Chain A
Amino acid sequence: MTETLLKYGAFFRAAFKQGLLNRGMLSGLLFFLFILLFIYNRLWEVIGIQDNNSSLNTIYIWYLLFAEMIILSLPKPDRVLTDDIRSGTMAYYINKPISFFLMRYAEALGSMTVSFLVMGGVGSLMTLSLTGVPPFEWRYFPLIIIMCWLSSAINVLFYCGIGLSALWLESTRTLAVAVERLAFIFGGAIFPLSIYPDWFVDIARWTPFYSVYYLTIKLVYDFSWTNLFEAAVLNSLWTVLIVGFVGFAYHHLNKKVNIYGG
């Protein structure tokens, strides 16, 4: 077990180090994050003045920061897996003493973690300078960060599953874009679902995005042990379902694998 963890840990570390060296990509992410925070801070400031509620921007900008940490840190593992399947590259790995899927997942986790931590660190300072105080108590901050990182890890797994669906689908990119949009709207990626109509929230509840995004990120401004427990339970449930699908797809993949060319 320890040996297995060490093996995939090596892939994680390699991707992490590679991600750290990609300064162009990281600075681009931070620039875009800053623009988003700046614009939406302005929006909520104006709405706050209108509503005589000066804490509005504090709540929603911290919410936005954590939502963007989950969304923007995703390294597109679906494209890597689709390319591996289409090009036959995976055939080279299938007879190695590693799981091809877990190798790619560990790599994607490594890349995601770099972006996540950099955006978390710099983004928190940016947001703090815009809002003054955070809407949570600092002692809960590590827990919120861990919960959001776990959500990001589930998100990566979800997109790996989309990559594996290249077995059956012509274009996984279209599916990935569709899922991205669904996550955006049903997960409350820009504005929390609390401001959406009830009928809409009732629909969103049946999607994985409700817990992976909204319930987890909501801990930023509404932390309680009950909310944490609810998010953890629902996230675990969705993880089981996603792992089930991935296991099924991977099993079929191993049977169907074709080698194109050399």
Chain B
Amino acid sequence: MADDFIKTLKLFFYIQKSHFKTAFLSVGDALSNVVIMLINNLSFIFMWWVIFHNKGSINGWDFSDMLLLNAVMNNAFAIFALFARGIQALPEYIDNGSLDNYLVSPQRPLFMIATSESTFANWGDLLTGLICWILSGYTDLLSFALMIYASLCATAVLISYRLLVSSLAFFAGDTQKLGDNIFMAFITFSSQPASIFTGWYKVMFLSIIPAGFISLIPVMLIKTAALPVFLFLSGAAVLSIVISAAFFRFGLKRYASGNRFGVR
């Protein structure tokens, strides 16, 4: 078991090294994309600063809450885009039959699919996360540890949601664009001040589109360090992994090979 884990870890680092090498084939491009991503994220944050500067707070949320949200969300999205981006391409793999290549691999198919793609520019998101956390004012050691933990839980929810949406391709054809749009909607929901969703909106925010586990609950955890919030977020992360992995396996059973012929 432990041996297996170490082997998988070694493979993971090997794949990441090759992604790095690919990105650095053009150093200028790679670095400028990171900087542009950073500027893009900071321009969003500037936009929110303008709103909060004008309004003070929005339904109890202030700018430091928004910075914490951006820290967690950017970290979660960066980890997804750097280390598990392949999940986004799953519908394409299913539609064109290239999923077969991953199924015959001696490693777990989901691991191989997830790590098959990486976007180097999203290192800019990690930098944004760090900047937002520093600016938020919650810079003590406990808050930092909670921010890291909340980011990892948010990553689990985000990746699980993407896997769930991507796995729809096992049941219907040509779902790449639909999946991308649902995921984009999920990200857009996550990037708003969570306090605007009240009543039934909040129920939806924590169920059908579980964006609250990327924004509302992580921010609550970092601010309060409360055990019930910690358990709630951890439970949601575990549950989302279990549900999405089960849905993926269920879909995989239905998958019939694309009979794609090619040389690798």
Q: Is the CB of A28 within 8 A of B29?
A: no
Residue of chain B at shortest CB distance from A171: B29
Q: Is the CB of B178 within 8 A of A51?
A: no
Q: Is the CB of A191 within 8 A of B47?
A: yes
> Contact check: which of B51, B59, B180 meets A195 at CB < 8 Å?
B51
> Which residues, 39 to 58 on B, are CB-close (under 8 Å) to A?
39-40, 43, 46-47, 50-51, 53-55, 58
Point out the residues of chain B lying under 8 angstroms from A32, CB to CB: 181, 184-185
Interface string of A189-228 (1 = CB under 8 A from B): 0110001110010000000000000000000000000000
> Contact check: which of B43, B180, B201 meets A28 at CB < 8 Å?
B180
A25-B177, A195-B50 known; A178 and B36 CB under 8 Å? yes
> Contact check: which of A47, A50, A177, A196 meets B40 at CB < 8 Å?
A177
Point out the residues of chain B lying under 8 angstroms from A190, CB to CB: 47
> Contact check: which of A39, A43, A174, A184 meets B33 at CB < 8 Å?
A174
Q: Whole-angstrom distance between the alpha carbons of A170 and B184 in the complex?
A: 29
Q: Whole-angstrom distance between the alpha carbons of A181 and B45 in the complex?
A: 13
Chain A: residues with Cβ within 8 Å of the partner, total of 29
Q: Is the CB of A181 within 8 A of B196?
A: no
B255 at the interface (CB under 8 A from A): no
Residue of chain A at shortest CB distance from B186: A35
A39-B192, A178-B36 known; A47 and B43 CB under 8 Å? no
Q: Whole-angstrom distance between the alpha carbons of A36 and B192 in the complex?
A: 11
Point out the residues of chain B lying under 8 angstroms from A45, CB to CB: 196
Point out the residues of chain B lying under 8 angstroms from A24, CB to CB: 174, 177-178
Q: Is the CB of B185 within 8 A of A184?
A: no
CB distance from B61 to the nearest CB of A (A): 10
A17 at the interface (CB under 8 A from B): no
Q: Is the CB of B43 within 8 A of A181?
A: yes
A185 at the interface (CB under 8 A from B): yes
Q: Which secondary structure dominates where chain B touches chain A?
A: helix
Interface string of A36-59 (1 = CB under 8 A from B): 100100110111001100000000
CB distance from B160 to the nearest CB of A (A): 20
CB distance from A85 to the nearest CB of B (A): 17
B105 at the interface (CB under 8 A from A): no
B18 at the interface (CB under 8 A from A): no
A31 at the interface (CB under 8 A from B): yes
Q: Is the CB of A50 within 8 A of B55?
A: yes
CB distance from A69 to the nearest CB of B (A): 17
> Contact check: which of B32, B184, B192 meets A174 at CB < 8 Å?
B32
Residue of chain A at shortest CB distance from B184: A32
Interface string of A151-187 (1 = CB under 8 A from B): 0000000000000000000110010011001001100
B259 at the interface (CB under 8 A from A): no
Residue of chain A at shortest CB distance from B198: A46
Instruction: Pick from A45, A46, A51, A197 the residue with the most CB of B within 10 Å.
Output: A46
> Which residues, 108 to 148 on B, are CB-close (under 8 Å) to A?
none
A46-B195, A50-B59 known; A28 and B33 CB under 8 Å? no
CB distance from B246 to the nearest CB of A (A): 27
Point out the residues of chain A lying under 8 angstroms from B54, CB to CB: 195
B247 at the interface (CB under 8 A from A): no
> Contact check: which of B39, B51, B185 meets A181 at CB < 8 Å?
B39
Q: Whole-angstrom distance between the alpha carbons of A177 and B193 in the complex?
A: 26
Q: Is the CB of A47 within 8 A of B201?
A: no
Provide a sorted-by-A list of 21 A–B residue pairs whose CB atoms are within 8 angstroms.
A24-B178, A32-B181, A32-B185, A35-B185, A35-B188, A35-B189, A39-B196, A42-B192, A42-B197, A42-B201, A43-B58, A43-B196, A46-B195, A50-B59, A171-B32, A174-B33, A178-B36, A181-B36, A181-B43, A195-B51, A197-B53
Q: Report B's interface with A, CB cutoff 8 A.
A: 26, 28-29, 32-33, 36, 39-40, 43, 46-47, 50-51, 53-55, 58-59, 174, 177-178, 180-181, 184-185, 188-189, 192-193, 195-197, 201
Apart from A42-B192, A46-B58, what 4 extra A-B contacts exist at CB < 8 Å? A32-B184, A36-B188, A43-B196, A191-B51
List the 5 closest pairs (A to B, CB-CB), nearest first.
Answer: A35-B185, A185-B43, A46-B196, A28-B181, A181-B40
